[in-house]
Amino acid sequence: MHMTQPLTRSVALVAALIVSTTGFAQNANDAKSADETELIALLRSDAPASEKAIACKNLAIDGSSAAVPELANLLSDPQLASWSRIALEAIPGKAADEALLEATDSLQGELLVGTINSIGVRRNSNAVEKLATLLHSDDSEVASAAAVALGHIGNGAAAKSLRGSLASAPNEVRSSIALGCVLCAERFLAEGNSTEATEIYDQVRRADLPGQRIIEATRGAILARGDEGIPLLLEQFRSSEKPMFQLALGTAREFPGDKIDTALATEMSSATPERAALIIQAMADREETVVLAAVLKAAEQGPKQVRLSAIDALKRVGNDSCLAALLKIAIENDVDIVQTAKDTLAALPGKQIDGEIAALLPSSGGDTYPLLLELVGRRRIDVVEEVEKALEHSDKSVRSAALIALGETVSLNKLSVLISQVAAPKHPEDASVAQQALRAASVRMPDREACSTELTKALERLPTAAKSTLLEILSDVGGNKALATIAVAAKGNNPELQDTGSRLLGTWNSVDAAPVLLDLAKTAPAEKYQIRALRGYIGLARKFTMPANQRVEMCQNALDTAVRHDEKMLVLDVLKLHPSKPGLALAIKAKQIPDLNNEASEAAMVIAKKLSGRGVDVSELLSAAGLE
Amino acid sequence: MSNKAAQVSRRRFLKTTISAAGAAVAAPTIIPSSALGRDGAVPPSERIVVGGIGIGRRGGYDLGCFLEQKDVQFVAVCDIKKKRRGEVKNIIDKHNGNEKCDTYRDFRELLDRRDIDSVLIATGPNWHATAAMTTAKAGKDMYCEKPVTKNISQSLILADTMRRTARVFQAGTQRRNLPHFAFACELARTGKLGKLTKVFAHPMGMQALMSGWLPAEPEPDPDVVDWNMYLGPASWRPFNQKLLDGFNFEKGGGFVGAFNGGGVLEWGSHCVDLCQWAVGDCPPPVEYNAPKDGHLVARYESGTELIFREKGWIPLGSCPVRFEGETGWVEAGDSGKIVLSSPELLAGRTVEEIGGYPATFHVRDFLDCVKTRRQPKGNADAACNAHIACHAANIALHLGRQVKYDNATNTFINDEQANRMRSEALREPWRL
């Protein structure tokens, strides 16, 4: 068999499975340069089916009518028929249409079904007569394929044959005929012929068909009618059948215009609570035309399920006109209602609402006052001075709300307000909330180094308990300044701060802490803190991505510093977890540590095995260590 | 990275949300659960009855996300592999505390069941579009793994089919329901970055994958492995174990052939999908260039560039995306972290960090939409646009030259070669 070089490459492409970008492009170009004549000759030859398959794929892109006869010959080949149709569906011109149509005379079963499917994809209007005949085939699969193909062609003749067969078709074919009808109707509608589209949809939805076909036809019948389809849509909302109600929910969302919105509002008000809750969600998805007053009314009163849905919907469609009502709702007694209302108030769009909340704050009282303070925090409204006044309030819930609001809104230059509350709260019961607020504000600051500087300054003038709290907050803030401040505390004279500082450093989440921890492991005022620091140091080597040499250097440092066997074992664990050649060398070296010989040998073998599995040659190292 | 770049870390969020839940960008909820009746015990009438098709490794993860939802009743599983049918049935039976999960070899029998409302489709990508459209025509809603389609034509037909059948379709693009990606897309979409100039997606290898026609091996008993059903809409080729369990088939190459698929589609169906969200789910780009220096540049009608980029990412985990505007940028990845050109972009908000790209929220979004009939985040229109962008990029990659796409006609402009690559015949008897 004669095979051109490019064609050989294209076959090789099949087996190659993955080809690099460059290689792929090269192959692609080669394939395109393959002469169509050669591809046709290959199809005509006794080449293996695999090569013919790829020839078909190449002809799909570059083949012409000249290739059609050989491709058509493959339509009766169970192995290659669909490969052939890949090309026949793609090659433009009458030849491919005619070949597919002609093949329907001789094919049967699935091969005929496939050919009909391809005729449908190509929308060959000359095939309508033949397909109309095949609609009555004894083979229900063939008849069904013909029905769908006619639907894809979708012209007047196709629609006529489908509509004429709908009622009389056997059950196993009728559903496909209905699908073909719906496809025709869609095409008519797209071409502006809503009258015929509506007729078809109506015919289908009144036929004896599976529910899904009825759903498709009903949806079409509603939309094809325009505003006159609203009654049919509402009929579905009232249907006792759940699928039809669900269809209504979906179709309402895609219905054009604004007349439907009024109808939905009316429908919602008379529906059962379960359905009304869902209708409200559909209403709210029509953000441009929703009848807001209806949603707001449903939010204010009625069954709880409906209210919850409406209050939630206001998150999307509400505006400042809803503020007063929502503020009232948010201080009701029902926990679910209150929480949903608060969530909506926090999310209600518009700067104007921020202004209105800020304006209400000075004169508010009762339950509304803490609510407004909460909203100041959640919406991050910048009214710090007004909120500060609430810190003097006699009601703890008001003070707590104010502290939390400050945590969400203060800027760096006002951080001192919260620091003061932590350092010396006027009401001891506020201490915990004040600490939360300071933490929230501190970790929120864009410039964490500046924030840490502020906190560090404050540290000096605080009592010990508050200092520990501030160290915790500094740990959450992170960064160089925080690290340095905590290190100083850990090495200082105060035992409580030594404990807090070494604990925070021991769980520090950045490699930046490594030098600090190593220093502390050697110089901390108590052995337990030294151990804690060393374990933190080893933990950094274990957790973080870093070059092998850096990790091994840290492990070496840890081994040099470790006094106890436990920490030395942790180092070996790190080396085993991150196997590398330098790591192996260190494990071998660790054999010399008196109480570590066996464990280090075992670790070395584990590392060596892992490295060997990756193709790394470790024989020399092992040999030198006598570990082969 | 700019000195001003602000990294929003897990600890940041966790510490601030103590008091800032409302101002935080958190995992989304669609509607209060109590309004949908899914608080506490869910009455049988409110349960969503689900069946699974092709539940393998990825599907097994998805299955777990479904099973943990109180209002889901998983009742059936279909697989062409007997062993897996049994394994998945056991998982479901164990969860349900009975032995009632039914098994099927042919998914059409599962779809014939009137009691099943929704279907989880987690077959290989070869089957996704065909199974999804068959499912829709059978009157079921579906959560379908990605990549959803094999070519442009399938993408368009998928969107049309879901609209026509009024079904709820959720593509397995779960990153649309993760707060940090959502926040990054929101910044881009709402103009917070200024006029959007570039959106970047990671294609994870600009290469073509093809499972091919490997040497014939003895075909197993169909009850053990139904090879014919496994091939499904893919053109025929002989049984070969490598195709059944092979890397390509599992990774989105499969039977997509030399003309599409590969990393651009496999990963692009996530990353490009996020880029599409960032540009407001507008129609896909209109111009695609051949790759050069690890970049494949496409251009939207608006002028914004969609850039498939292999390297140069801030290490934020897999599936990174980056959006650049005239005044700022944001980058996000699967670690759950985002990096911003300026902390000002946070505008005081906090972003919940959820690493590991869990699908739980995406599954919940789907289930809520089954009840409300709302469009889920990974709906068919969104998936269609993202997939078209990937397919068109692949065509430019394959042809090694620029192609121009007309979104009005869904054709390549004056480009017969490219136009012929928009679709591919299905093996008989399958059709869309």
Taking only the tens place, the pLDDT of each residue in B162-215 is 999 999 999 999 999 999 999 999 999 999 999 999 999 998 777 666 667 888
Region A348-367 average pLDDT:
93
Residue A240 near chain B (CB below 8 Å): no
- Model pLDDT, residue A161: 98
* Domain assignment present for B352: no
**Closest C-alpha to B50, from B136, B128, B100, B120:** B120
Task: Compute CA distances A73 → A69, A113, A125, B203, B349, whole Å.
Answer: 6, 16, 23, 40, 66
Closest by Cβ to B235, choosing from A18, A82, A377: A82
Residue A305, both tokens: 């399920």
Put simply, the answer to whether B350 touches A246 (Cβ < 8 Å) is: no
Closest by Cβ to A249, choosing from B12, B346, B373: B373
- Model pLDDT, residue B11: 34
Q: Where are the alpha helices (DSSP H) in B190-315?
A: 227-231, 241-245, 247-250, 262-278
Of the pLDDT bands very low, low, confident and very high (cuts 50, 70, 90), residue B261 is low
Residue B428 near chain A (CB below 8 Å): yes
> For A381, phi and psi rounded to 5 degrees?
-85, 130
Contact A292, A258 (CB under 8 A): no
Closest by Cβ to A247, choosing from B37, B166, B431: B166
Residue A140, both tokens: 């229900």
Q: Which of A181, A443, A509, A512 to mutate to test the interface with B (most CBs of B within 10 A)?
A: A443
**Closest C-alpha to B367, from B103, B67, B85:** B67
Region A41-63 average pLDDT:
93
- Model pLDDT, residue A323: 97
Per-residue model confidence as pLDDT tens digits over A81-115:
999 999 999 999 999 999 999 999 999 999 999 99
Residues of B in contact with A25 (CB under 8 A): 290, 397-398, 400
Closest by Cβ to A440, choosing from B20, B375, B417: B20
Residue A167 near chain B (CB below 8 Å): no
- Percent of all residues in chain A with a pLDDT value above 70, rounded to a whole number: 94
- Model pLDDT, residue B252: 35
* E strand intervals along B117-267: 118-121, 141-144, 169-171, 196-201, 208-209
Of the pLDDT bands very low, low, confident and very high (cuts 50, 70, 90), residue A625 is confident
Cβ of B40: how many Cβ atoms within 10 Å? Answer: 9
- Model pLDDT, residue A424: 84
User: Strands B141-144 and B72-78, how do they pair?
Assistant: unpaired
Residues of A in contact with B15 (CB under 8 A): 439-440, 443, 476
* Domain assignment present for B129: yes
Residue B83 near chain A (CB below 8 Å): no
Mean pLDDT value across chain A? 91
Put simply, the answer to whether A60 touches B424 (Cβ < 8 Å) is: yes
Of B156 and B267, which is predicted with more confidence? B156
Residues 6+ apart with CB under 8 A from B113: B51, B76
Per-residue model confidence as pLDDT tens digits over A493-535:
899 999 999 999 988 878 889 999 999 999 988 899 999 999 9
DSSP 8-state class, residue B344? G
Of the pLDDT bands very low, low, confident and very high (cuts 50, 70, 90), residue B245 is low
- The Cα of B113 is separated from the nearest Cα of chain A by a number of Å equal to 12
pLDDT above 60: residue B87: yes
- The Cα of A529 is separated from the nearest Cα of chain B by a number of Å equal to 24
Region A433-444 average pLDDT:
92
Residue A344 to residue A330: CA distance in whole angstroms: 10
Region A153-177 average pLDDT:
97
Residue B410 near chain A (CB below 8 Å): no
Residue A71 near chain B (CB below 8 Å): no
B406: helix, strand or coil: strand
- Model pLDDT, residue A485: 95
Put simply, the answer to whether B22 touches A18 (Cβ < 8 Å) is: no
* Domain assignment present for B84: yes
First to last CA, chain B: 47
* Domain assignment present for B59: yes
Residue B19 to residue A438: CA distance in whole angstroms: 11
Residues of B in contact with A282 (CB under 8 A): 372-374
Residue indicated by tokens 């584990």? A606
Region B384-410 average pLDDT:
94
* Domain assignment present for B91: yes
Q: Which A residues, 126 through 155, put their C-beta within 8 Å of a C-beta on chain B?
A: 141, 145, 148
Cβ of A167: how many Cβ atoms within 10 Å? Answer: 12
Residue A9 to residue A547: CA distance in whole angstroms: 42
- Model pLDDT, residue A13: 27
Q: Pick the residue from chain A with its C-alpha nearest to B168.
A: A250
Put simply, the answer to whether B213 touches A21 (Cβ < 8 Å) is: no
Residue B408 near chain A (CB below 8 Å): no
Domain with residue B137: its CATH number is 3.40.50.720
pLDDT above 90: residue A242: yes
Put simply, the answer to whether B423 touches A118 (Cβ < 8 Å) is: no
- The Cα of B90 is separated from the nearest Cα of chain A by a number of Å equal to 31
Question: Helices A597-613 and A581-590 sit at what angle, rounded to 10 degrees?
Answer: 160
Contact B175, B273 (CB under 8 A): yes
Residue A448 to residue A511: CA distance in whole angstroms: 17
Asked if the bond preceding B429 is cis, omega within 30° of 0, the reply is: yes
- Model pLDDT, residue A20: 26
Put simply, the answer to whether B12 touches A17 (Cβ < 8 Å) is: no
pLDDT above 60: residue A355: yes
Contact B56, B122 (CB under 8 A): yes
- The Cα of B169 is separated from the nearest Cα of chain A by a number of Å equal to 12
- Residue B163, domain extent: 27-174
Residue B277 to residue B382: CA distance in whole angstroms: 8
Q: Which of the residue ranges A7-21, A50-64, A174-188, B381-395 would you say has the lowest mean pLDDT?
A: A7-21
Closest by Cβ to B18, choosing from A111, A409, A440: A440
- The Cα of B88 is separated from the nearest Cα of chain A by a number of Å equal to 29
Residue A96 to residue A73: CA distance in whole angstroms: 12
Put simply, the answer to whether A249 touches B429 (Cβ < 8 Å) is: no
Residue A351 to residue A353: CA distance in whole angstroms: 5
* Domain assignment present for B92: yes
Residue B125 to residue B111: CA distance in whole angstroms: 19
Put simply, the answer to whether B207 touches A309 (Cβ < 8 Å) is: no
Residues of B in contact with A80 (CB under 8 A): 236
pLDDT above 90: residue A463: no
Residue B365 to residue A626: CA distance in whole angstroms: 61
- Model pLDDT, residue B353: 87
Mean pLDDT value across chain B? 87
- Model pLDDT, residue A545: 78
Contact A551, A583 (CB under 8 A): yes
Count of domains for chain B: 1
Residues of A in contact with B31 (CB under 8 A): 281, 309, 312
Q: Which of B161, B206, B213, B349 to mutate to test the interface with A (most CBs of A within 10 A)?
A: B213
Residues of A in contact with B207 (CB under 8 A): 18-21, 24
**Closest C-alpha to B26, from B18, B34, B17, B35:** B17
* Domain assignment present for B276: no
- Model pLDDT, residue B20: 30
Reported as half-sphere exposure (CB side, CA atoms, 13 A), residue A14 has a value of 20
Q: Which of A111, A246, A399 to mutate to test the interface with B (most CBs of B within 10 A)?
A: A246
Residues 6+ apart with CB under 8 A from A171: none
Closest by Cβ to A281, choosing from B137, B166, B372: B372
Closest by Cβ to B15, choosing from A85, A121, A476: A476
- The Cα of B392 is separated from the nearest Cα of chain A by a number of Å equal to 15
Residue A540 to residue A515: CA distance in whole angstroms: 11
Closest by Cβ to B213, choosing from A14, A220, A439: A14
Contact A299, A284 (CB under 8 A): no
Residues of B in contact with A446 (CB under 8 A): 6, 343-344, 346
Residue A332 near chain B (CB below 8 Å): no
**Closest C-alpha to B385, from B363, B365, B410:** B410
- Model pLDDT, residue B349: 77
Residue B187 to residue B323: CA distance in whole angstroms: 9
- The Cα of B176 is separated from the nearest Cα of chain A by a number of Å equal to 19
* E strand intervals along A239-295: none
Residue A335 near chain B (CB below 8 Å): no
Please report, as a single letter, which amino acid is at residue A604: A
Of A403 and A510, which is predicted with more confidence? A403
- Model pLDDT, residue B26: 64
Cβ of A341: how many Cβ atoms within 10 Å? Answer: 26
Task: Compute CA distances B172 → A234, A369, B47, B57, whole Å.
Answer: 33, 45, 22, 14
Region A323-345 average pLDDT:
97
Residue B216 near chain A (CB below 8 Å): no
- The Cα of B94 is separated from the nearest Cα of chain A by a number of Å equal to 30
Q: H or E element: which one contains B52?
A: strand B48-53
Closest by Cβ to B429, choosing from A89, A114, A377: A114
**Closest C-alpha to B160, from B190, B141, B133, B139:** B133
The 8 Å CB, 24+ separation contacts for A426-434 are: A426/A391, A426/A392, A427/A396, A427/A399, A429/A396, A430/A396, A430/A399, A430/A400, A430/A403, A433/A399, A433/A400, A433/A403, A433/A404, A434/A403
Q: H or E element: which one contains A472?
A: helix A464-477
Residue B349 to residue B340: CA distance in whole angstroms: 13
- Model pLDDT, residue A167: 96
Residue A88 to residue B238: CA distance in whole angstroms: 22
- Model pLDDT, residue B25: 65
Residue B37 near chain A (CB below 8 Å): yes
Query: Torsion angle, CA of A152/A153/A154/A156, rounded to 10 degrees?
Result: -160
Per-residue model confidence as pLDDT tens digits over A446-462:
888 999 999 999 988 88
